Amino acid sequence: MGQFKSIVLANRYNLNLGLDWAGLPNRFPSEESAFSFANADLIISCVDVNSARVAIASYEGKLKNSVMWLDMGNAHRHGQVVFGALGKSARRQFPNVLDHYPEIAEMADSTVKSCSVAESIASQDCLINRSVATAAMTIVWELLRTGSTDRNMITVNVESGEQMTFSFPPKAS
């Protein structure tokens, strides 16, 4: 608690996998992160406000055409991980979080802050963040190990104990 998810996750995977990733605890976009994003092959987001997802999606013109986006989101006891393309030309084959959940673009950001540990726990199951992060690492690990994945989305429900994986749509002929 009390640390940026981006830094915690980057450090965890750097230690476990011998990587050299950087966790950038900045609003998107920011001057501090512009260079890193411009050269990125993969953008990983785990944000608390929908406007951040919209900002990432609208930033695609300043990124490599081939950049992929791994987005993690969750509510109280369920969450999702969506791996897709940011570039418009690739989104039919590799849909991203806004393609699966277009209503996000119109939703207002929640401004409710939890001031205590008790409020935080009441608003979010203690295992949901870890479950979503583990599902995301399933995709990242497959990319690192084999160079590709057919996983487009993973949904997690800690209440029912279910996790479902969805493949990319079939290529149009």
Q: 143: domain CATH number? A: 3.40.50.720
Looking at the domain assignment, is residue 147 inside a domain?
Answer: yes
What are the residue ranges of helices labelled H in the chain?
Answer: 5-17, 34-38, 50-58, 97-100, 117-123, 128-146
Question: What does the mean pLDDT of the chain come to?
Answer: 86
Structural domain that includes position 151? 5-167
Q: Which of 96-100, 128-132, 147-151 has the lowest mean pLDDT?
A: 128-132
| 10 band by pLDDT with thresholds 50, 70 and 90 | confident
The Cα 150–Cα 142 span in angstroms is 9
Looking at the domain assignment, is residue 37 inside a domain?
Answer: yes
**What does the pLDDT read at residue 115?**
52
Res 147 pLDDT > 80: yes
DSSP per-residue codes, 58-99: HTGGGS-TT-EEEEEEE-SSEEEEEEEESSGGGTTTS--HHH
**What does the pLDDT read at residue 40?**
84
Number of domains observed in the structure of the chain: 1
Q: Is 105 helix (H, G, I), strand (E, B) or coil?
A: helix
Q: Is 27 helix (H, G, I), strand (E, B) or coil?
A: coil
Looking at the domain assignment, is residue 161 inside a domain?
Answer: yes
State pLDDT tens for residues 28-53.
777 777 777 788 889 899 888 888 89
State pLDDT tens for residues 83-95.
999 988 899 999 9
Looking at the domain assignment, is residue 58 inside a domain?
Answer: yes
The Cα 167–Cα 150 span in angstroms is 5
**What does the pLDDT read at residue 108?**
86
Looking at the domain assignment, is residue 172 inside a domain?
Answer: no
**What does the pLDDT read at residue 22?**
80
Res 1 pLDDT > 90: no
**What does the pLDDT read at residue 93?**
94
User: Quick one: DSSP state of residue 49?
Assistant: S
The Cα 68–Cα 83 span in angstroms is 7
151-157, strands of its sheet edge to edge: 42-46, 68-74, 78-85, 151-157, 162-167
User: Degrees (nearest 5) of the Cα angle 162, 164, 170?
Assistant: 170
Res 134 pLDDT > 90: yes
Looking at the domain assignment, is residue 60 inside a domain?
Answer: yes
Length of the chain: 173
Looking at the domain assignment, is residue 173 inside a domain?
Answer: no
State pLDDT tens for residues 109-127.
876 665 555 665 667 778 8
